[in-house]
Chain A
Amino acid sequence: MAIVCNITDGTTTIDLTTSSGFQLLDDYIPVISRPTGDGSIPPYIYENLPCRIIATSDNTLASILQDFHTLQKRADEFWFDQLQYTPVWFHMKLDEESNERRALIKSLDLTPQINWFDCITGTDQWWTPVTIILERHPYWERTTSRGFPQETPTAAVSVTYDYTSAGTVGTAYDPAGDTGARISAMSIAPLLGDVTNELGRIWVGIRSAYKHGTLANFINIWECEDADATLGTDAARAADATASPGGGGNTKVTITPGTATWAERLAITLGDVTTDESDNYGEFLWLLRAKVSAGTWEVQFRFGHEAMSDDDHIKGEVIQITSTSWNIYEIGIQRIPIRNLQAMLDTNIADISDATFQIQVWARRTVGAGTLDIDCICPIPTDEGFFSSAGMTLNSDVGDNDYLGISTSPQDVIFPFTFERSTAPSGLKAFPNFTVYNFRLPPGDGRMIAAYARDSTSDITDAIEFNRSVVVRTGAFYERWCSLRGTE
C-alpha cells in the first residue's frame, strides 16, 4: 500500500507526496469533522497543509504555482458557475489504509512562508515553504460509487424498497460509513410495460435499522377497516374492489351522515395494527387515502392515547376532500410515541402503553349530501431522510417508460428531474415540484418507504420500479466518513 495525498480535478493534479513540486510536511495535523445529530451537513472545514515546493528554478516554481492556480480557479468556479461541472477533490489514503477517499474542495489558498526574493538571492530555491489553506467538504467519500439494486415491489398504496438487498438486479450490501451516504443517482418509474400505470406523486422516507430496530416489523399501511379499529359516528365497513387490500380484503370505511358536523369517525391504535410497537417509533408524514361520493368533506387526524379525552388529543391539519375518485391526502406530521421518550422509558416505568397510541379520524361534511370513504392511513418516515414530488405525469408503455430521477451534486444539492421515454420526443420532461430533507442513506441496514399516486387520483393496481438498471448507471451512492475509511 502507499500514501495518497493529492489535489486534482482529473486533468491537473498536485501530488503532495512526490519529490518535486508540492510536498506535504510532517507537521500536518488533519481536521476532523463530526456527524450531526439532525443529519444535516456540518460547515465546511479549513485545513492548513504545511508544504514545501521543490523546484529547480524560478521558472519551474512558476509552472508549479500555475498548476495550483488552475485548480484554485476551477474550485472557485465550481461554486459560482454550474456550467463548470468538474469539481476539485482532495484525495487521501494513509500508508496502510486499504481504501482511498476524497473530499470536495470549495476553495484553495496559498501562503508563502518566506520572501519569494530569497529564492533569487541565493537561498536554496528548491525548498520553498508554503501553506496551502484548503476549504473542503466536512466528510470524505468513496472515490467510486456503489450501485442500487433494481426492485419492483408488489403494487400497493405504500411499498418498501430494500436498497440493501440484491433485488432483481444488484448486489446485497449495507451502506458503510460514519454518516449518510450521498445519493448521486436513483430512479423511480411506473411499472415497465404496463400502459395503465401512471406515476404523478410520490413520498419517500428513509428508515434505518440503526435508529429504528427491526425494519421488517414496520407497518407502512394501517387499514381503516382493520377488524380491531373502532368505528365512530355513522361509520361502517364496506367491500370495495378499488380499496386497499388488507386483513379484510378490499375494504373501506364509509361515513354516511346522520351527523354531518364534526365527529369522530374512526379510532385506530398502534396495538390494532402490530404487536411490535417500538419498531414503529419515528416521526411521520401521515397520508390518508380517501374519496367522497359528492360534496365537500373536511378531515382531521387527532393523535393521542385511548384513555385521553378528545380535547387532550393533538389536533392535526384540517384538509378538504372534494374528489369522487380515490386520492391521497397529506394529513399532518406526528411522532410515535407522543411522550418524552428519553424521560419515560420502559426500563423505568412499568406501564408503558405504546399499543394504545391512537389516531382518531374526525370529519364533517361542509357542502352537499355525499358520503366519505376512507381506505387506509400510510405513515412515511420523515426523521431520517425524506423526498416528495408532485405533478410528474409519468407514463409507461410496452417499450421504455418515463421515470423520476433524483441526483445529488458533490455539494449536496439535490436535483430531481423527470425523463420522457415513452413518446417522442424523448428527453428531459420536467423539473418537478419537490420537497427534500437529508435524503441520504444512513449507515447499515435500511429501507425506503414509499407511497405514490397518479397526479390527482390513486389506483391500487399501479406499481413502481426502483432503479431499473438501464436507466441508472452503475454509480449510484457514495458512502462518507468523518476521518478514515479503512477497509470499508
Chain B
Amino acid sequence: MIMPTLHLFERLAQSTTAPVMSLTQYAFQSWQRNTRAIGGYWSGDFTIGSDMMNSAHLKRFFNDNMGRRVVEETAGIVTWEGEIVQMDLTVNGATYRRAMNYEDWHNRVKVSFTDNATSIVTATAWSENTGSSDIYGESEYIDVVNKNYDITAAEALRDRRLLENAFPRPRPEGGLEYTRQNVAGNRESDSLRVYCSGYVLSMNRRYRESNIASAALSTQISTLVSASEFVTTGSIDTNSLNAPVECSDISQRLWDTISELVQVGDGSGNRWVGGVYSGRKFNYKLAETTITHYWANGQLLDLGQVPVIPSMIKPDIMVKIVEAPTGITLSNANLWDNPSIVYIEEVEYIAPASYRLIPYSGGKLTKD
C-alpha cells in the first residue's frame, strides 16, 4: 500500500510553486496530522531529532522556515497541506519558540477607540508593515481599547504594536534557565518540534468589518472565502437557505464567520460541511448521509471491502462497524443512531500507516 511523502515549499506570499526541500527522510517517522469535516486540513506536527539532523541544521531550519508550506502527497495527490505556524527548538537544554498566531504576530493593525473629545467610537486607519506581509502574508489585528484616546494616542499605540509584533521572532520559553541538568553532558538532546496548521486557519488573519445583506448561504460563504489571502473557492454546492452576515458592530475573523455559516446547515435540517483542501480550495457540500465505508478487522474498508490507504482517508464519511452488535435504526431516528453506524467528522493520520477516526459523538476508531 502506497505511503505518502512530505515536502516543504516556499511561503505563499513569496511563491506558490517554489520547492525548498524534501522532508520525508527527516520528519516522516514522527509526522501526524488531522483533517476535519468542518475546516478541512486542520493541523499537523513532526519532530526532527539530533539523530536525523545536526544542531547547525536544526538551527537553520528554525531560522529559515517559519510560514513555509508543508505538503503531504500520496502518489502525487495532495492529501494534506498547511503552513508551519510554530517551531520549538531545543538546543543546549533551552527551548526557543517562534509562532505565527495572530495574537503575538500581526503586521497590519488598527486601533478601535472612543474619542475623548466626541465620545464616539471610531478607529484609526490600517497600518501595515509590508516588509513582514510580503514575506509571511497579512496578519490583521484590531486592538480595541476601552479608555478614552485621541487620534494621536491611538495611532501611536497602533504603530507601537506594529513595531513590536510585525515579525514572528523567537522567544525563549520559560525564560533562560541555569540548572546543573543543563550543563553539557547532561542536557536533553537537541531537537526541533514543528507545528503546522491548515490554510483554513490563515483565513482568521483577516477580518470582515461590514455587514452582508441576507443571501444564500453558499453565496455568503463564497463571498467570505474570496476575501481571504490564500484560500479560493473550490467546489461550492448551492445551499439556498438565506442568512445575513453581521460584522459591522464587532468585526469578525473570516474563518470564524464562515464556520458559523457552515454549521447552520440547510433549510431541510441537513448537515453541511466545508473546509480547505488541496490547492487551498474551499469546498462546501451536503454532509454524507449514506454508508460509504466499513470498519472490520480493526481497519477501514471501502465499499469493495478493500483497505483504504491511510493517508487518503477524509472525514465526512459514514462507517458501518461490521463487528458491532446488531442494531436497528429506530423510526424517526438518524441513520447514525444505529449503534453500528458512525459518522466520522475528524481523521487523524499518524505516519506511516496508522490512523484514528473520530466520530461525531466522540470516542474513536483506531488502526495502529
Q: Which residues does A use to contact B, with CB under 8 Å?
A: 38, 40, 80-81, 203, 283, 285, 298, 303-304, 311-315, 317-318, 320, 330, 332-333, 335, 337-340, 343, 366, 380, 382-383, 386, 388, 390-391, 413, 431-438
- With beta carbons under 8 angstroms apart, the residue of B19, B75, B305 that contacts A386 is B75
Please state if B77 and A314 are interface contacts (CB–CB under 8 Å). no
Please state if B290 and A320 are interface contacts (CB–CB under 8 Å). no
How many inter-chain residue pairs (CB < 8 Å) link A and B? Answer: 87
Contacting residues, chain A, for B290 (C-beta < 8 A): 311
CA distance A366 to B306 in the complex (A): 32
Does B153 sit at the interface, judged by CB under 8 A? no
Known interface pairs A330-B77, A382-B75, A391-B17; A436-B302 also in contact (CB < 8 Å):
no
Contacting residues, chain A, for B234 (C-beta < 8 A): 320
Contacting residues, chain A, for B17 (C-beta < 8 A): 391, 433
Contacting residues, chain B, for A436 (C-beta < 8 A): 5
- Shortest beta-carbon distance from A214 to chain B in Å: 23
Please state if B76 and A366 are interface contacts (CB–CB under 8 Å). no
Interface residue ranges of B49-104 to A (CB < 8 Å): 54, 73-77
Please state if B306 and A317 are interface contacts (CB–CB under 8 Å). no
Please state if A437 and B2 are interface contacts (CB–CB under 8 Å). yes
Of all chain B residues, the one with the shortest Cβ separation from A390 is B76
- With beta carbons under 8 angstroms apart, the residue of A81, A318, A435 that contacts B5 is A435
Can you list 25 A-B pairs with a CB-CB distance of less than 8 A? A81-B54, A203-B75, A203-B76, A283-B1, A285-B75, A303-B304, A304-B304, A313-B303, A314-B302, A314-B303, A314-B304, A315-B292, A318-B235, A333-B74, A333-B75, A339-B304, A339-B306, A340-B305, A366-B235, A382-B75, A383-B1, A386-B2, A388-B76, A435-B75, A435-B76
Does B25 sit at the interface, judged by CB under 8 A? yes
Contacting residues, chain B, for A318 (C-beta < 8 A): 235, 283
Main SS class of interface, A: strand
Main SS class of interface, B: loop
Please state if B304 and A435 are interface contacts (CB–CB under 8 Å). no
The 8 A-B residue pairs whose C-beta atoms are closest, nearest first, are A338-B304, A388-B76, A285-B75, A382-B2, A340-B305, A435-B73, A382-B75, A435-B76
Contacting residues, chain B, for A203 (C-beta < 8 A): 75-76
Contacting residues, chain B, for A304 (C-beta < 8 A): 303-304
Number of residues from B at the complex interface, CB < 8 A = 31
Please state if B7 and A338 are interface contacts (CB–CB under 8 Å). no
- Shortest beta-carbon distance from A451 to chain B in Å: 11
Contacting residues, chain B, for A333 (C-beta < 8 A): 2, 74-75, 77, 309, 312
Of all chain A residues, the one with the shortest Cβ separation from B25 is A413
Of all chain B residues, the one with the shortest Cβ separation from A308 is B303
Does B3 sit at the interface, judged by CB under 8 A? yes
Please state if B1 and A339 are interface contacts (CB–CB under 8 Å). no
CA distance A149 to B226 in the complex (A): 52
Of all chain B residues, the one with the shortest Cβ separation from A366 is B235
Contacting residues, chain B, for A433 (C-beta < 8 A): 7, 9, 17, 19
Contacting residues, chain A, for B303 (C-beta < 8 A): 304, 312-314, 338
